[in-house]
Amino acid sequence: MSRAALACVAAAALALGACAAAPPTEVVAREGSAVTFAGAVDGIHVGSTSNEIAAVAYIPTLPADGRVPVALIQHGGHTPCATAEDPWPCASPEERTPSYLGYDWLGTRLADEGYLAVSVSANATIGSSADVDGEAKLLAWWLETLDSGTGPLPDLAGRLDTDRLVLIGHSRGGDAVAQLLTGRPGAEGIDAESVQAAVLLAPVLPVDDPTGVDLGTSATPTLTLYGTCDGDALDMPAVWATAFTGAGSRTEVMTGANHNYFNTQWTPGPGVVDAVDDAAQRDDAACRAESATRLTAAEQQEEAGRIISAFLADVDA
């Protein structure tokens, strides 16, 4: 079965009907290669959970004749509403944490390198241990919607090379991607065997396996990337890295990098809710802000971008 057909199955599982058209969605911003679009908060249903339709696509220069590879980016778990006590979908749309907007540094780089990169919002499912498969199905839905031209970017219909699919996840999003690739029960939506490569940015361990004693394995070429000053995931990324045993998989540890700076929305300054330097949670002088080895947010994102680009180039060679 082709990946497009598998995505149709996932769309049906989302109660949208096989290959159904996207709910009403509108482009809300364009800047450079980035196109941001949004729609109803109850546009996608995973089980009993309603997900907002929100994503930003970083569109490469399309070849006159040919297709482009796809990179889907999944953010991690973060306070979904500006008021922490508010339940999803928050008191108003303006109160929703736009974690999916935090990867411009990566999306623009990937677009420059020829990928259609799409960072999707998953506030409703990403923080719920009850929706283990929610993130995978959400990614599958976006893939099929864009590839079929039924969503907000109809010009991309038939222009995506879905045999060159890259999955990228940060924090709990990295856990979601890792669970999909290692075949954990419930983490379905995209055929793991058809994923060309994956990038796990500081992935945390599954909610139901916090010490990683029951992880599967995967032969998918996977980059596990994290920092020595991660005050959130701590040593969990190193545990996930042991699950990826295939040729081409690698682990890169960035000296002086923390957890939150991989997402600008979680970074003090440009960030919104709970935007903190999590390195302060580590009892390590080298992780203090004044340390000569600490990376600034810009330095961390630039170095991570170079590492990811080199990894994908090797996989695609």
pLDDT string in tens for the chain (317-residue length) = 233 333 332 332 233 333 334 444 566 677 777 787 665 545 555 555 566 778 899 999 988 888 999 999 999 988 888 887 787 778 887 888 889 999 999 999 999 999 999 999 888 877 554 455 677 778 888 888 888 888 778 888 889 999 999 999 999 999 989 988 998 876 667 888 889 999 999 999 988 888 888 899 999 999 999 999 999 999 999 999 999 999 999 999 999 999 999 999 999 987 667 789 999 999 999 999 999 999 999 999 999 999 999 999 999 98
In the chain, domain spans: 3-316
The per-residue pLDDT for 17 is: 31
- Considering the entire predicted model, what is its pTM? 0.89
The per-residue pLDDT for 21 is: 42
Q: What is the CA angle 138-140-142, rounded to 5?
A: 70
Residue 283 class from Cβ within 10 Å (0-12 exposed, 13-18 middle, 19+ buried)? exposed
Judge contact between 11 and 17, C-beta under 8 A.
yes
CATH code 3.40.50.720 for 3-316: no
| 179/173 Cα distance (integer angstroms) | 10
Query: The tokens of 44 are what?
Result: 């996608």
The per-residue pLDDT for 45 is: 56
DSSP 206-262: PTT-TT-TT---B-S-EEEEEETT-SSSTTHHHHHHTTB-STT-EEEEETT--SGGG
The per-residue pLDDT for 12 is: 29
The per-residue pLDDT for 131 is: 55
The per-residue pLDDT for 274 is: 79
